[in-house]
Amino acid sequence: MSESKRIWATLDPFYEPGPVLGRRVANTKFLRALLAADPCDEYRFFLSDAGQTDYLGKHLGKIAPEMLAAGRVRIVDRRELPRMLAQESFHCMHLSDCITSQPHVARLRNRFSRAIFPVTGTIHSLSCSTFGTQFLRHLWPGNTRRDAIVCTSEPGRQAVRNFFHWLRQGYGLDPESFPAPQLTRIPLAVDADELCPGEPRQDGGPVRLLVFGRISHHSKMDLLPLMRALHRLTAQGMDPASVELVLAGWVDDADDFLPVLKGLAANVGIAMTIAARPSEGEKVALFRSADIFISIADNPQETFGITLLEAGAFGLPAVASDYDGYRDIVVHGETGLLVPTIGPDHTPDADLMAPVLYDNQYHLLLAQRTVVEIPALAEALKALIESPQTRRAMGEAARRRVLERFTWAEVIRQHAALWDDLWSEPVDADALRGVDHPQAMPFGALFSHYTSRTLTPGVMLRAGATGEAFYRGKDFPMLYSGLTETIDPDAARKLVFLARKPVDTGTLIRKLVEVAPNMTEASAKNHVLWSLKHDILERI
């Protein structure tokens, strides 16, 4: 590690107001935990959206007021990124989602930064039909061994591997020429101190089964298998009054799925309560009053399963589908029971239709081919319903596991160790400087034919009347706020001086580079064009 000051940076706010979604909650908690652990000297947020800047500024004022006041946490205009990369040494740049900007951040680093610092980004849901394009961006010659995608679960990591294999195979890409970032596994976490068990229930009432999450058959889990499993148990002699089912979380009141669930529960004879969009206080009460947590995810939108961590923090045993990241969280027979699942290995019709359907439509097609085995689900429920001792032992083991592996302090420790470790990977900085990204549009090359001519070295120029007035302080060309990082008025004045007599563009650019500090040839050409546009220079 070569930098003297550890600057952590990002292009993302990590704080987004709006509906409660797993990604938003995880990012907000990550930010709070990162600043609390404080593994770096400074933290920079390069944002380009005024709304995001306002929301994040207010949030930082609440969670890190002293760091904000001391200037250790700063929100910076994203257009300043090239200049700051060139002038300062960054420890790492971490993005809240790997599919947004990670390859292009690496390209900016390769071009401007003195040191090749680690660039990392985290996976969330992976099943959007457009993500092939996003992951294709990761396969480019500018990748280094210091770049990593942070996978929250082992199944998620395998899914990203599958993405890269599929893309290389489809486009005929050689892995040596089109490398991918490293894939490392760091889980999500919960605040185990805030989410803790309450007093044991003393009411002697029915065993309370809790489902918490998006109550939707097309975006989280189909709950009909749960109803079928409960029906099996009552048919086998279980007293329907001995259990109570609570469905809680995000609910669309217009969804016709809810009446179906209510009708099935009534047919089975089991009391069912729906707690729609509960507050944080209500959520805590729901978990503390439950005996068994159930999550039978069958949808590829799910990658990790943070509600299972929440249940474990509350000391609840889980009955969960053996699916995706769930198997990283639940230890079968120790912290809960995993129910076997069966799914397809090929989905040709869904593959063809997904690009022209809405997300919920093709996710429903896929979820309805993912089987949570109902007989095994019924047996798992029966085992826990009938044994308070097993529930208690598994719940205690689940909380211990959360405290050992899934706290935010532990997750931030793993991220900090990753950023340190990535610095030890060898890189050839000089070889990276001029590597273009194949999906970064070369606007000049694509649209240069739109203008009458291009600015070639032989174009003859001179200072015009407006330029002379500008040079003497009698005229002030408009410099828009979005150009303050790319156009230097002092450099434009130097152009007027250098073009007192007719001069060819090539010579003018060379002279400006010689007399203007930190001026590159590309920047000098931009200054010439801007000066032509504002009548400071004119073509002759």
In this structure, of 123-127, 216-220, 463-467, 508-512, the range with the lowest mean pLDDT score is: 216-220
pLDDT at 20: 61
Task: State how far the alpha carbon of 165 is from the alpha carbons of 132, 197, 281, 304, in Å.
Answer: 11, 44, 45, 22
In this structure, of 134-148, 256-270, 357-371, 382-396, the range with the lowest mean pLDDT score is: 256-270
d(CA 261, CA 223): 8
Residue 180 has pLDDT above 90, yes or no: yes
Contacts of 348 (CB under 8 A, 6+ apart): none
Burial of 5 (0-12, 13-18, 19+ CB in 10 A): exposed
Residue 260 has pLDDT above 70, yes or no: yes
Of residues 331, 212, 193, 365, the one with CA closest to residue 274:
212
Q: What is the mean pLDDT of residues 391-406?
A: 97
d(CA 221, CA 218): 7
Do residues 486 and 528 lie in contact, with contact meaning Cβ atoms separated by under 8 Å? no
Considering the chain, what percentage of its residues have pLDDT values greater than 70?
99
> What are residue 328's phi and psi, to 5 degrees?
-80, -25
- Per DSSP, the three-state class of 333 is coil
pLDDT at 6: 95
* Residue 1 pLDDT class (50, 70, 90 cuts): very low
Contacts of 320 (CB under 8 A, 6+ apart): 294, 295, 296, 297, 305, 308, 326, 329, 330, 336, 337, 338, 339
Residue 4 has pLDDT above 60, yes or no: yes
Task: State how far the alpha carbon of 171 is from the alpha carbons of 136, 142, 164, 167, 193, in Å.
Answer: 10, 18, 11, 6, 49
pLDDT at 448: 94
pLDDT tens-digit series, residues 487-499? 999 999 999 999 9
pLDDT at 121: 98
pLDDT at 531: 96
pLDDT at 19: 63
Residue 3 has pLDDT above 60, yes or no: no
Residue 168 has pLDDT above 70, yes or no: yes
Give the number of other Cβ atoms within 10 Å of residue 125's Cβ. Answer: 21
In the chain, the domains with their CATH numbers are 7-189+413-432 (3.40.50.2000), 207-406 (3.40.50.2000), 444-539 (no CATH)
Token pair recorded at residue 438: 């194949």
d(CA 294, CA 304): 15
pLDDT at 384: 98
Considering the chain, what percentage of its residues have pLDDT values greater than 90?
86
pLDDT tens-digit series, residues 192-249? 999 999 888 777 789 999 999 888 888 889 999 999 999 999 999 999 999 999 999 9
Q: At what angle do helices 505-515 and 521-533 cross, to 10 degrees?
A: 120
- Per DSSP, the three-state class of 429 is helix
Determine the distance from the C-alpha atom of residue 329 to the mean position of all C-alpha atoms in its chain, rounded to a whole number. 20
pLDDT tens-digit series, residues 421-476? 999 999 999 999 989 999 999 999 999 999 999 999 999 999 999 999 999 999 98
